[in-house]
Amino acid sequence: MLADAVARALSQAAHAVDSAHSGEEADRALGAIPYDLVLLDLGLPGLDGYEVLKRLRARRIGVPVLILSVRDALADRIAGLALGADDYLTKPFHLAELEARVRALIRRANSANSSEIVHGRLRLDMAGRRLYCDDLPIELSARELAVVELLLLREGRVVTKQQIVEHLYGWEEGSTSNAVEVFIYRLRRKLECTGVDIRTVRGMGYMIERAHAS
């Protein structure tokens, strides 16, 4: 029930979420799919969370890990962090705090130290989930905003269509590169007056950069 509630809340905040309900399922997923963040319950059936984390780090996968647990003893926190977790949140918790920690860990992983990204005339408020141009809001859908966020977090680097699909959709949803092209088309139209361009890197993906002055 908690996993489903967390998945729904994060999906509504425009995160793509996959849920694994056993340690073995989590271990298989983490070995096959590159994730931006892992929320890891210690009390998983089968392999416990500690063993899943140990195997993850043994494969030298550096994805940020946020442990969720009813175990609030100092020794448990130390054990989790020592195995390579990045944060530890005890149950019960408020979903708002969980979402804030998720955003902070993703920003940290992408070297964004602030909750805002400024790019030319654009300002992305990651905490408030709004995009502005010269302090005027730009109306975007949740998934359009998620694409802009991904591109801005990886400014100057190519983001592939597959990375965008994985960022937007979970296991059960699925999508195609055609859907990505639709999102990019819509975003280009909405950003055309901002001086910011989403450039196509042929055969690779997309990169966000400031439009050249004419």
Phi-psi region of 111 (alpha: psi -120 to 50; beta: other; left: phi over 0): left
The CATH number of 116-210 is which of 1.10.10.10, 3.10.129.10, 3.40.1690.10, 3.10.310.10?
1.10.10.10
Question: Which burial class, exposed, middle or buried, applies to 13 when counting CB atoms under 10 A from its CB (0-12, 13-18, 19+)?
Answer: middle
From the list 183, 182, 177, the residue with the least C-alpha distance to 149 is 183
Q: Indicate whether this model's pTM tops 0.75.
A: no
Angle at 80 between CA 75 and CA 82, to 5 degrees: 90
- Contact partners, residue 91, CB within 8 Å, separation at least 6: 2, 68, 69, 70
Structure tokens at 203: 């055969």
Per-residue pLDDT, 210? 54
Per-residue pLDDT, 153? 85
Q: Does 73 score more than 60 pLDDT? A: yes
- Average pLDDT estimate for 145-160: 88
Per-residue pLDDT, 133? 93
What's the rounded Cα separation, in Å, for the pair 77 and 153? Answer: 30
pLDDT per residue as tens digits for the range 10-48: 888 778 889 998 999 999 999 988 888 999 999 899 899
Angle at 139 between CA 113 and CA 108, to 5 degrees: 15
CB 170 within 8 A of CB 4: no
Overall fold of domain 2-109: Rossmann fold (3.40.50)
What's the rounded Cα separation, in Å, for the pair 54 and 92? Answer: 25
Helix (H, G, I), strand (E, B) or coil at 133: strand
pLDDT per residue as tens digits for the range 108-143: 877 655 678 888 889 998 878 889 999 899 999 988
Q: Does 203 score more than 90 pLDDT? A: no
Q: Domain limits of the chain?
A: 2-109, 116-210
Helix (H, G, I), strand (E, B) or coil at 91: coil
* CA distance to 29, 47, 88, 118, per residue, from 73 (Å): 29, 21, 11, 40
Token pair 């920690």: residue: 101
